[in-house]
């Protein structure tokens, strides 16, 4: 039971992180028709910049400043590079963001090296947010913070006690993601800027004809999208790991999220993020394979077949490719994506 | 059953979300007729063309081409049945030459389909057809120019060329003379008349001179319904048409009284 | 009469045959001129790369389909070829070693049939994302099914099997090179022929206007799917040649990095002309083998060049060549030569300074253990001395300023020449 709860919460937090990233990507795509290949690179830059600031000033200044730095970088890139390629069409735009991701990767490795750096979360977030103590005798207990060691050890061999902590960093991740979600929604629906953005989403020429500076709006949206990715990077980098391959790892997953959710749909990106986040988190923890499933129903295979890697493969080993399998399935059965509105 | 009509619309309806654009359109065009579709802006003329050519599917109602129902079919299926359309905004293959554009248009109708074991240079029938077409639309001097480098009028001519290249028996032209000067328009109308001999033609036009000169019959589309479909003099005299589109009867009476 | 009309419709004439014979001659003679072991290896790799990049350009340049996962097909071709090679060695597959690339091609084609249907359902950006997802899928699976993929170590085989036929055992690299050369020539001819067939031309039409294609009777998705399969075939042949050449297939042959390289270099060479990817393929091998030896920063240089290309020359090197050929045809190239020389000189100065800075930074980060000095094109730079840094920065800055000044003058002169040519063309039309 506690395994399910903790895993569910972990999955939700990972899914929300994916949403932080894919929402920025979707906004930029809906707005400008550009699929920002370098979005995950902005994520990485956010983590590294926050790490750099954190080593001098501490985590919390890093949390605030790093996204701003990344946002400025993103806006500058839009202004000086992306805009020049706009007239050539969508393929060159995608190519230039692809080239940017390459250059960013090299520069990050140049400045900070090729191995992972120790980007630790702040002291306040280092322990568990809460702990679930499941005792076979006393039942389930909920404790804020960490459970004392004595509680997790059984007095005698017949009593089974399992302590499942839920990391504070994960909780913080969910908090920031939800705050960002609400703020985004409020901005888009309640402010004037948001209204302009919403209209520019579908009718950019009309918005420009009405006197709004659409190129400037584009620059701001791209910068904001990059900044959001940077914020996700600060959180993700301190919770998981900060290393040069973090962009590639999460990059392909958020593209899957965006396609599965339906290109251009924020709601779809949300649903797909949560779905993929939860499924992957559960899969990594489960050790079932086709072989074990067959064994559970009483089917036993000969030694040669039992040794075949495809049948032996556990769910946890397959976990990394589940999002891509999902992608292929969605494309076969529901090519528009879960909630797709726009064609690619 | 369609009883020998080239194009038939029966109770055609199309809504986009909650907005109904085509509200029960009925039309029966005989083979070889030249029909001009007129109507105020927003009446749904382009939508009608999009429905007939398969770009969208109707919400309800039937579309018949010769003796076959075509509503709900995909554009290439309808094109293969002998219906071709041109577009209001020029829709050509920009990075191919004029000749290549036309040759692409003839390939399917000559049965070459997805073949990659034959060379284009050796397809004499396709090449001759494209060559002849090029002369008919008077773009033979621009044979190797890339389509995106043509002038606007030349691109419109190429647009028509691609449309009729496949030898379709029913041709839909969506505002073919849009954006042209008076002299260009009259030359273009001659061209259209020449190349659509023996074919059924439906064309959307705003220029009344063109409409009354080119068409055998006029269909008037107002708020998604065909309110009149008759010969030009009959349509001109139709009171409903005058009220909705060509000027109200009252206004004419007032003008007549004022002129007394 | 017949020959002139045929050539009007695009048939090959004597001029084209000369080009093909010259290309064949170059391929025959090249290893005799560059006969070091390294050179022959590089020539073999160039042949493999040419077929891979040309097959990639069937999608990108001819079809407007941006794929981030083309290495899946060449890579799977490699894997199947390696298994075939092992089977030949084990006696269970009675085909000559020289046909292994064909096996690779069939494998590539097979996987393209399987995966291509889903991939080509969409176009544009969505298509690109699908290819990325499939690339990640296959790349990850490469470490999951050791029977087929061999895990981290990959699968190895021996290409020297059985008794030599006519003295050819495919042991020495030179023999492999000539086999690769034959396949490269055949595949290039095949892919060129494709561009002159109905399917090839309709693929171009789909690139230019996918919607219009449907209204002239063609199913756009079918056109893309069939072309995708053919491109998969040639990619597989490239993979088969790879298997023969290196006698091993590891996870990176299906990886996203390799797919990225295909994209990079095909684009760099020029996607809008048939011969562009050939230039790109040559650059790819040269950059990989030579550049990576010379500097640790080669990927950064490549990335920056790519960015500049996308902004200033999206048609790649091939388009730059063609533009200059056009100038030469109209006799205007001579006047620009002086400016080209000036551009080159100032460009070199600017690059020299910038590269010195980049090399010093790389040295600081990665080679600090080797001491503070590094060799840069014969000069010794000291990362601890201010003089080195200042000197490099000044050279870079001065070079950049001069380059920009020359570039503006050059652009103006180019624009003038271009305008004159167009005016003359219009005048001829009026006549």
CB-CB neighbors (< 8 A) of C145 in chain A: 309-310
Whole-Å CA distances, C83 to A100, C172, C235, C242, C328: 38, 21, 17, 13, 51
Q: Which chains touch C (3 or more CB pairs under 8 A)?
A: A, B
Confidence of residue C6 (pLDDT cuts 50, 70, 90): low
Tell me whether residues A255 and C123 touch, CB distance under 8 A.
Answer: no
Chains B, C: CB contacts within 8 A come to 110
Kindly tell me if the per-residue pLDDT of C362 is higher than 90. no
Q: How many domains does chain C have?
A: 2
State pLDDT tens for residues B204-250: 988 877 887 788 899 988 888 888 898 988 888 888 887 776 554 45
Min Cα separation B53/chain C (Å) = 8
Q: Does C134 touch chain A (CB under 8 A)?
A: yes
Q: How many CB atoms lie within 10 A of CB C429?
A: 10
CB-CB neighbors (< 8 A) of B79 in chain C: 214-217
pLDDT of residue A292: 72
Note whether C75 and C213 are same-domain residues: yes
Q: Are the C-beta atoms of C266 and C67 separated by less than 8 Å?
A: no
pLDDT of residue A344: 35
The answer to whether residue C19 is domain-embedded is no
pLDDT of residue A301: 67
What's the rounded Cα separation, in Å, for the pair C204 and C59?
10
10 Å CB burial of residue A31 (0-12, 13-18, 19+) is: buried
User: What residues make up the domain containing C215?
Assistant: 34-301
Note whether C76 and C218 are same-domain residues: yes
Computed over every residue of chain A, the mean pLDDT equals 82
Ranges of H-type helices in C150-197: 173-194
Residue C347 Ramachandran class (φ > 0 left, ψ -120 to 50 alpha, else beta): alpha
Tell me whether residues C196 and B104 touch, CB distance under 8 A.
Answer: no
Task: Out of B96, B115, B166, name the one closest to residue C199 (CB).
Answer: B115
Kindly tell me if the per-residue pLDDT of C373 is higher than 90. no
- Mutate which of C114, C119, C125 to test chain A, going by most A C-beta atoms within 10 A? C125
Note whether C267 and C335 are same-domain residues: no
Q: Are the C-beta atoms of B160 and B137 separated by less than 8 Å?
A: yes
Task: Out of B96, B105, B117, name the one closest to residue C208 (CB).
Answer: B96
CB-CB neighbors (< 8 A) of C226 in chain B: 114, 116
Among B residues 165-204, those touching chain C with beta carbons less than 8 Å apart: 165-166
Q: Does C124 touch chain A (CB under 8 A)?
A: yes
The answer to whether residue C324 is domain-embedded is no
State pLDDT tens for residues B151-163: 888 899 999 999 9
CB-CB neighbors (< 8 A) of C362 in chain A: 110
Q: Output the domain CATH number for residue C199.
A: 1.10.3470
Note whether C297 and C375 are same-domain residues: no
Percentage, residues of chain B above pLDDT 70: 93
Find, in chain A, the residue whose alpha carbon is nearest to that of C146.
Answer: A309
Min Cα separation A333/chain C (Å) = 10
Higher-pLDDT residue of B196 and A193 is B196
What's the rounded Cα separation, in Å, for the pair B186 and B184?
6
pLDDT of residue C65: 93
Find, in chain C, the residue whose alpha carbon is nearest to that of A336.
Answer: C122
Token pair 């579908």 is found at A202
Task: Out of B74, B87, B104, name the one closest to residue C202 (CB).
Answer: B104
pLDDT of residue A333: 79
Note whether C210 and C75 are same-domain residues: yes
Tell me whether residues C125 and A35 touch, CB distance under 8 A.
Answer: yes
Confidence of residue C49 (pLDDT cuts 50, 70, 90): very high
Q: Which of C284, C301, C318 is the last residue in one of the domains?
A: C301
pLDDT of residue C190: 95
Note whether C171 and C262 are same-domain residues: yes
Tell me whether residues C214 and B107 touch, CB distance under 8 A.
Answer: no
The answer to whether residue C109 is domain-embedded is yes
What's the rounded Cα separation, in Å, for the pair C389 and C402?
20
Task: Looking at mean pLDDT, say which of B239-253, C351-365, C368-382 comes out highest.
Answer: C351-365
Find, in chain A, the residue whose alpha carbon is nearest to that of C359.
Answer: A110
Q: Which of C280, C301, C322 is the last residue in one of the domains?
A: C301
Predicted-complex ipTM score? 0.87
CB-CB neighbors (< 8 A) of B74 in chain C: 214, 219
Note whether C202 and C273 are same-domain residues: yes
What's the rounded Cα separation, in Å, for the pair A120 and A63?
12
Which residues on adjacent β-strands are paired with residue B204?
B37, B174
Q: Sketch out chain B's domains with CATH numbers.
A: 7-259 (3.40.50.300)
Which residues on adjacent β-strands are paired with residue A282?
none
Note whether C289 and C352 are same-domain residues: no
Find, in chain A, the residue whose alpha carbon is nearest to that of C260.
Answer: A98
What is the DSSP pairing of strand B34-38 with strand B217-222? parallel
Confidence of residue C269 (pLDDT cuts 50, 70, 90): very high
Q: Are the C-beta atoms of B110 and B125 separated by less than 8 Å?
A: yes
Higher-pLDDT residue of C112 and A249 is C112
The answer to whether residue C26 is domain-embedded is no
Percentage, residues of chain B above pLDDT 90: 39
Q: Does C315 touch chain B (CB under 8 A)?
A: no
Tell me whether residues C215 and B75 touch, CB distance under 8 A.
Answer: yes
Residue C206 neighbours by CB under 8 Å, 6+ apart: C63, C64, C213, C218, C220, C223, C224
Note whether C287 and C356 are same-domain residues: no
pLDDT of residue B1: 46
In this structure, what token pair is assigned to residue C95? 């085909």
Min Cα separation A68/chain C (Å) = 24
Q: How many CB atoms lie within 10 A of CB C391?
A: 16
State pLDDT tens for residues A263-292: 777 888 889 999 999 988 888 877 666 667
The answer to whether residue C173 is domain-embedded is yes
Task: Give the mean pLDDT of C311-338.
Answer: 86
Tell me whether residues A309 and C144 touch, CB distance under 8 A.
Answer: yes
Higher-pLDDT residue of C382 and B155 is B155
State pLDDT tens for residues C19-40: 888 888 888 888 888 888 888 9
Tell me whether residues C66 and A110 touch, CB distance under 8 A.
Answer: no
Q: Does C198 touch chain B (CB under 8 A)?
A: yes
Min Cα separation C4/chain B (Å) = 11
pLDDT of residue B256: 67
Task: Out of C197, C199, C218, name the one closest to residue B76 (CB).
Answer: C218
The answer to whether residue C18 is domain-embedded is no
CB-CB neighbors (< 8 A) of C219 in chain B: 74, 76
User: Considering only CA atoms, which of A78, A69, A73 is closest in space to residue A34?
Assistant: A78
Q: Does C114 touch chain A (CB under 8 A)?
A: no
Task: Out of C133, C302, C362, name the one closest to residue A110 (CB).
Answer: C362
Tell me whether residues C365 and A111 touch, CB distance under 8 A.
Answer: yes
Note whether C241 and C352 are same-domain residues: no
The answer to whether residue C11 is domain-embedded is no
Kindly tell me if the per-residue pLDDT of C112 is higher than 50. yes
Q: What's this model's pTM, rounded to 2 decimal places?
A: 0.88
Q: Are the C-beta atoms of C75 and C258 separated by less than 8 Å?
A: yes
pLDDT of residue C216: 92
Task: Out of C122, C136, C310, name the one closest to residue A85 (CB).
Answer: C310
Confidence of residue C393 (pLDDT cuts 50, 70, 90): confident
Chains C and B touch (3+ CB pairs under 8 A): yes
Note whether C349 and C294 are same-domain residues: no
Higher-pLDDT residue of A296 and B65 is B65
Task: Give the mean pLDDT of B29-38.
Answer: 91
Note whether C175 and C221 are same-domain residues: yes
Task: Give the mean pLDDT of C311-335.
Answer: 86
10 Å CB burial of residue B180 (0-12, 13-18, 19+) is: middle
Tell me whether residues C215 and B104 touch, CB distance under 8 A.
Answer: no
State pLDDT tens for residues B174-211: 988 888 888 888 888 888 888 888 899 999 988 877 88
Whole-Å CA distances, B115 to A325, B165, C200: 33, 19, 9
- Mutate which of A327, A332, A335, A337 to test chain C, going by most C C-beta atoms within 10 A? A327
Task: Looking at mean pLDDT, say which of A86-95, A164-173, B79-88 comes out highest.
Answer: B79-88
Task: Looking at mean pLDDT, say which of A303-312, B141-150, C238-247 comes out highest.
Answer: C238-247
What's the rounded Cα separation, in Å, for the pair B13 and B21?
8
- Mutate which of C126, C366, C383 to test chain A, going by most A C-beta atoms within 10 A? C126
Least-confidence region, from A21-30, A233-242, B1-10, C345-354? B1-10
CB-CB neighbors (< 8 A) of B121 in chain C: 6-7, 9-12, 196
What's the rounded Cα separation, in Å, for the pair C163 and C169?
7
State pLDDT tens for residues C201-254: 999 999 999 999 999 999 999 999 999 999 999 999 999 999 999 999 988 899
Q: Does C205 touch chain B (CB under 8 A)?
A: yes
Q: How many CB atoms lie within 10 A of CB A119?
A: 24
CB-CB neighbors (< 8 A) of B104 in chain C: 201-202, 205, 213, 216
- Mutate which of C61, C215, C431 to test chain B, going by most B C-beta atoms within 10 A? C215
**DSSP letter assigned to residue C166:** T
């Amino acid at each position: 039971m506690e395994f399910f709860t903790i895993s569910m919460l972990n999955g939700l937090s990972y899914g929300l992180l994916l949403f932080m990233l894919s929402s920025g990507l979707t906004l930029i795509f809906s707005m400008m028709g550009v699929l920002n290949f370098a979005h995950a690179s902005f994520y990485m830059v956010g983590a590294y910049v926050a790490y750099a600031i954190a080593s001098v000033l501490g985590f919390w200044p890093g949390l605030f400043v790093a996204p701003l730095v990344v946002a400025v970088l993103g806006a500058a890139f839009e202004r000086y590079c992306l805009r020049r390629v706009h007239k050539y069409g969508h393929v060159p735009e995608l190519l230039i963001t692809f080239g940017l991701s390459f250059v960013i990767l090299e520069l990050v490795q140049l400045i900070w090296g090729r191995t992972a750096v120790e980007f630790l979360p702040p002291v306040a977030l280092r322990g568990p947010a809460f702990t679930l103590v499941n005792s076979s005798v006393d039942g389930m207990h909920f404790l804020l913070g960490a459970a004392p060691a004595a509680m997790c050890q059984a007095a005698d061999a017949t009593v089974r006690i399992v302590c499942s902590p839920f990391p504070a960093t994960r909780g913080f991740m969910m908090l920031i993601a939800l705050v960002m979600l609400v703020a985004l929604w409020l901005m888009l629906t309640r402010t004037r800027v948001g209204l302009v953005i919403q209209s520019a989403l579908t009718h950019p020429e009309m918005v420009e004809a009405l006197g709004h500076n659409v190129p400037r709006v584009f620059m701001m949206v791209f910068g904001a999208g990059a900044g959001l990715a940077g914020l996700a990077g600060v959180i993700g980098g301190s919770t998981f790991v900060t290393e040069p391959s973090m962009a590639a790892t999460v990059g392909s997953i958020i593209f899957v999220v965006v396609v599965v959710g339906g290109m251009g749909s924020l709601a779809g990106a949300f649903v797909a993020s949560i779905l993929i986040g939860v499924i992957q988190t559960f899969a990594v923890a489960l050790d079932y394979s086709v072989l074990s499933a067959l064994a559970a129903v009483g089917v036993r295979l000969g030694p040669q077949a039992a040794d075949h890697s495809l049948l032996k493969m556990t769910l946890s080993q397959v976990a990394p490719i589940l999002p891509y399998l999902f992608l292929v399935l969605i494309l076969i059965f529901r090519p528009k994506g879960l909630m797709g509105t726009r064609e690619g | 059953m369609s009883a020998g009509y080239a194009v038939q619309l029966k109770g055609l309806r199309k809504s986009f979300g909650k907005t109904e654009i085509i509200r029960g359109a009925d039309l029966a065009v005989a083979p070889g007729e030249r029909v001009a579709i007129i109507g105020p802006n927003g009446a749904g003329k382009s939508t009608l063309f999009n429905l007939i050519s398969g770009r969208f599917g109707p919400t309800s109602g039937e579309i018949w081409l010769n003796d076959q129902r075509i509503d709900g079919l995909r554009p290439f299926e309808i094109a293969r049945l002998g219906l071709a359309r041109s577009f209001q905004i020029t829709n050509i293959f920009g990075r191919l030459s004029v000749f290549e554009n036309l040759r692409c248009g003839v390939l399917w109708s000559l049965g070459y389909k997805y073949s990659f074991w034959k060379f284009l240079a050796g397809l004499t029938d396709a090449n001759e057809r494209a060559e002849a077409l090029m002369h008919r639309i008077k773009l033979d001097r621009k044979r190797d120019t890339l389509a995106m480098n043509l002038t606007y009028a030349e691109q419109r001519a190429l647009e028509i060329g691609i449309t009729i290249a496949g030898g379709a028996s029913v041709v839909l032209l969506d505002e073919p003379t849009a954006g042209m000067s008076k002299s260009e328009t009259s030359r273009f109308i001659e061209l259209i008349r020449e190349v659509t001999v023996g074919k059924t033609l439906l064309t959307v036009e705003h220029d009344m001179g063109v409409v009354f000169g080119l068409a055998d019959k006029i269909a008037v589309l107002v708020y998604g319904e065909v309110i009149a479909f008759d010969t030009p003099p009959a349509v001109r005299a139709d009171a409903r048409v005058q009220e909705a589109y060509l000027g109200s009867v009252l206004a004419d009476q007032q003008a007549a009284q004022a002129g007394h | 009469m017949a020959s002139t009309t045929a050539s009007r419709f695009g048939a090959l004439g004597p001029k084209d045959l000369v080009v093909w014979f010259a290309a064949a001659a170059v391929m025959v003679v090249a290893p005799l001129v560059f006969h070091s072991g390294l050179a022959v290896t590089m020539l073999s790799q160039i042949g493999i790369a040419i077929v891979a990049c040309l097959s990639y350009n069937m999608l990108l340049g001819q079809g407007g389909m941006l794929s981030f996962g083309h290495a899946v097909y060449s890579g799977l071709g490699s894997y199947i070829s390696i298994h075939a090679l092992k089977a030949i060695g084990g006696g269970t597959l009675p085909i000559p070693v020289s046909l292994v690339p064909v096996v690779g091609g069939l494998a590539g084609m097979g996987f393209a049939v399987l995966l291509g249907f889903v991939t080509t359902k969409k176009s544009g950006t969505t298509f690109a994302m699908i290819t990325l997802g499939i690339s990640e899928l296959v790349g990850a699976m490469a470490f999951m099914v050791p029977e087929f993929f061999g895990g981290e170590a990959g699968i190895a085989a021996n290409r020297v099997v059985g008794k030599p036929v006519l003295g050819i055992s495919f042991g020495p690299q030179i023999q492999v090179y000539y086999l690769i050369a034959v396949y490269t020539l055949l595949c290039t001819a095949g892919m060129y022929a494709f561009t002159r067939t109905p399917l090839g031309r309709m693929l171009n039409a789909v690139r230019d206007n996918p919607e219009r294609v449907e209204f002239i009777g063609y199913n756009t998705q079918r056109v893309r799917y069939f072309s995708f399969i053919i491109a998969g075939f040639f990619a597989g042949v490239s993979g088969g040649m790879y298997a023969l050449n290196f006698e091993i297939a590891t996870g990176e042959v299906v990886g996203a990095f390799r797919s990225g390289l295909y994209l990079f270099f095909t684009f760099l060479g020029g996607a809008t002309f048939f011969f562009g990817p050939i230039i790109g393929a040559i650059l790819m091998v040269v950059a990989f083998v030579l550049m990576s030896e010379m500097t640790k920063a080669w990927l950064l240089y490549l990335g920056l060049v790519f960015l500049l290309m996308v902004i200033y020359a999206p048609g790649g090197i091939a388009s730059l060549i063609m533009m200059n050929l056009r100038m030469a045809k109209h006799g205007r190239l001579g006047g620009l030569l002086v400016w080209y020389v000036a551009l080159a000189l100032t460009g070199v100065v600017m690059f020299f300074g910038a590269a010195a800075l980049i090399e010093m930074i790389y040295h600081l980060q990665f080679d600090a253990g080797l001491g503070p000095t590094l060799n840069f094109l014969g000069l010794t730079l000291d990362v601890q001395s201010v003089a080195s840094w200042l000197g490099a920065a000044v050279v870079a800055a001065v070079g950049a300023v001069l380059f920009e000044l020359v570039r503006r003058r050059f652009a103006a002169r180019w624009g003038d020449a271009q305008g004159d040519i167009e005016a003359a063309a219009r005048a001829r039309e009026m006549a």
